[in-house]
């Protein structure tokens, strides 16, 4: 093992140790008899349930449905939000028209739309996806707007001096220069998408992991409930990490301090 790899391995182990301590504390608390087994299943029970779920196709089906809803909604939000934010940054007219609308929705808790969407679209994927779309719109619009509005004027001027046509500026200069901001918006929107999708399933759904967790809860299968929560949290973490590493790859050329966490 090279010295660099050894160093990285030791660093990773050092970061994982607090989790091991956390699990140890959990196990100790669960088996100490201070808390009823129902309220806190032991680490072993939850691990067992997790393994069970890992081998269960229906769990993957539920997980897939939730992912489909959240990522689908995320993409819709991006497809609408990024151009809208860009338009608002570039055109005073667009900003005048949509700016107040955007600012008005700022203070609205987007989950408040879920009951309304249930009335309109019923129980199912459509409600979840539209809810996710609305909640991811704002981060995409705001971050894209600020990213593009924050591009230094001298970059635009240099490009024009070197012959770039006005209409190509957006693609050739503004978007690359604001890429870091847009990707940050994406990371935040991703976080929202999971929350909204799961919340929608918990409020009213027939499928998906949100619903699944409540089914486990109601039937008393608490170790499976805990396992499902663990699976979702781990999934969200992995998705976030993937987003960060893809972003950093795309931002290879940018200053180190502009990279994502």
Partner 1 sequence: MVMRPVRAIARSVMRGIVACYPLILLAIAWEAVARLGYVRPVFLPPLSAVIERMIPLTLAGDLLQPLAVSLYRAAAGLALAIVLGVAIGLLMARMRAVRWLIDPLIAFGFPSPKIAFLPIFILWFGIDHLTKIALVAFTCVFPVIVAAYAGATTVPTNQLWAARAMGTTSLALTWRVVLPASLPSLMSGVRVGVPYALVTAFTAEMIAGGGGLGGEMVLAQRYFETPTVFAYLLVMLATGYLIDHGVLALRRRVLRWHEDAGARDL
Interacting residues toward partner 1 by CB under 8 A: 14-16, 18-19, 21-22, 38-39, 96-101, 104, 106-116, 118-120, 142, 190-191, 194-195, 198-199, 202-203, 210, 213-214, 216-217, 222, 225-226, 229, 232-233, 236-237, 239-240, 261
CB of 234 to partner 1, least distance (A): 8
Structure-token pair, residue 69: 């809803």
CB of 232 to partner 1, least distance (A): 5
Cβ proximity to partner 1, 120 vs 171, nearer residue: 120
Cβ proximity to partner 1, 173 vs 205, nearer residue: 205
Measured between alpha carbons, how far is 209 from 53 in angstroms, rounded to an integer? Answer: 12
Cβ proximity to partner 1, 76 vs 118, nearer residue: 118
In the chain, the N- to C-terminal Cα span, in Å, equals 27
CB of 144 to partner 1, least distance (A): 14
Cβ proximity to partner 1, 2 vs 38, nearer residue: 38
Among candidates 209, 219, 236, which has minimal Cα distance to 60?
209
Cβ proximity to partner 1, 106 vs 253, nearer residue: 106
CB of 197 to partner 1, least distance (A): 8
Q: Are 81 and 136 in contact (CB under 8 A)?
A: yes
Q: Are 124 and 118 in contact (CB under 8 A)?
A: no
CB of 59 to partner 1, least distance (A): 15
CB of 191 to partner 1, least distance (A): 5
CB of 195 to partner 1, least distance (A): 4
Q: Is 260 exposed, middle or buried (0-12, 13-18, 19+ CB in 10 A)?
A: middle
From residue 225, how far is each of 26, 53, 112, 228, 236 by CA, in Å? 16, 11, 26, 5, 17
Q: Are 84 and 98 in contact (CB under 8 A)?
A: yes
Among candidates 48, 35, 82, 59, which has minimal Cα distance to 178?
82
Please work out, in degrees rounded to the nearest 5, the angle formed at the alpha carbon of residue 75 by the alpha carbons of 97 and 113.
Answer: 65
CB atoms within 10 A of CB 28: 12
Cβ proximity to partner 1, 74 vs 173, nearer residue: 74
Cβ proximity to partner 1, 48 vs 99, nearer residue: 99
């Amino acid at each position: 093992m090279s010295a660099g790899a050894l160093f990285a391995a030791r660093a990773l182990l050092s970061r994982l140790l607090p989790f091991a301590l956390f699990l140890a504390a959990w196990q100790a608390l669960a088996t100490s008899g201070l808390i009823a087994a129902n309220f806190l299943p032991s680490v072993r029970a939850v691990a067992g349930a997790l393994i069970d779920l890992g081998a269960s196709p229906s769990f993957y089906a539920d997980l897939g449905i939730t992912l489909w809803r959240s990522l689908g909604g995320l993409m819709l939000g991006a497809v609408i939000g990024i151009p809208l934010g860009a338009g608002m940054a570039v055109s005073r007219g667009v900003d005048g028209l949509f700016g107040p609308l955007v600012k008005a929705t700022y203070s609205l808790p987007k989950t408040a739309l879920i009951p309304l969407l249930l009335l309109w679209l019923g129980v199912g994927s459509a409600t979840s996806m539209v809810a996710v779309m609305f909640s991811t719109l704002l981060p995409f619009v705001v971050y894209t707007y600020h990213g593009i509005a924050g591009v230094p004027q001298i970059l635009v001027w240099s490009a024009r001096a070197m012959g770039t046509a006005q209409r190509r500026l957006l693609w050739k200069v503004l978007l690359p220069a604001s890429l870091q901001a847009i990707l940050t918006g994406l990371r935040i929107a991703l976080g929202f998408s999971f929350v909204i999708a799961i919340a929608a399933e918990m409020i009213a759904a027939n499928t998906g992991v949100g619903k699944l967790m409540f089914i486990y809860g109601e039937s008393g299968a608490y170790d499976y409930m805990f396992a499902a929560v663990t699976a979702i949290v781990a999934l969200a973490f992995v998705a976030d990490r993937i987003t960060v590493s893809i972003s950093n790859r795309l931002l290879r050329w940018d200053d180190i301090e502009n990279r994502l966490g």
